[in-house]
Structure 1
């Protein structure tokens, strides 16, 4: 048995389905009875993607996508941590805020308990939206639709 280094998702090659791809094989068997147009489209898309990744320009595009996704992750994480660090600073710098209560609960507990969840949700929403936009730009550059 030989070792295989996986560098990308399973794909359909021009000569057939890659080894170990049971799901692609089942799609091929089901699509073959329907004329094989879905298989042909999948093969063409995979072949164009692989050709783009193997060329010098394609490698530049992939590296650019990886860098942009990494940069996005770092920016979102840093922004989240900055906002999280601002909560205790606000409580320490504003006099009397830490001793105040809302409906009988200490303000700092309410701030951390209810105020952090919208920040987490907003961070996740921004990350997903921007990551999808980065991937869409990559697909436009490579030519996949």
Structure 2
């Protein structure tokens, strides 16, 4: 057997093989999808179900708190109009104040409630991801 036979297809024996550079993995890289907790969740094991139920309960609790808060503020409008003397007869630009409060004043409250809910829901999901990644 000659040295040329061991090198392979047409490559001369004097030519060194191509070099391969091996580097360390990036320290900040996310874990591979084979992470144990992520695998537990994907396989729907008992541990994975506990994590998912925890997230669902947290999001449900948040939705209920925001909905109850929104309804309480919404109910405060008619109560304010009913119990504050003279507010029912008050007008602004020829339109009764009660109409403005109930017809226009509700929309900023809807937007504020939605913004608070989205912000808190995103925070809950980020905490869930951190919990799954750390476990």
Greater share of residues in helix? 1
Q: Residues 141 and 55 of structure 1: is their aligned pair in 2 closer, same or farther, counting only changes over 3 Å?
A: farther
Q: Which residue in the other structure is 1:100 paired with?
A: 90
Checking the alignment, whether the CA contact within 8 Å between 1:98 and 1:106 is kept in structure 2 is yes
CA deviations 1:95-143 (Å, max 9, x no partner) are: 1101100011000011112211110000000000000000000000111
**Aligned Cα root-mean-square deviation (Å):** 2.2
Which is higher, the Rg of structure 1 or of structure 2? Answer: 2
- Which stretches in structure 1 are left out of the alignment for 5+ residues? 1-40
Q: Please state if 1:118 is matched with 2:108.
A: yes
* Divergent runs of 4+, >4 A: none
Instruction: Provide the TM-score with structure 1 as the length reference.
Output: 0.64
- Which stretches in structure 2 are left out of the alignment for 5+ residues? 1-28
CA–CA distance in structure 2, aligned partners of residues 117 and 73 of structure 1: 18
CA–CA distance in structure 1, aligned partners of residues 66 and 72 of structure 2: 10
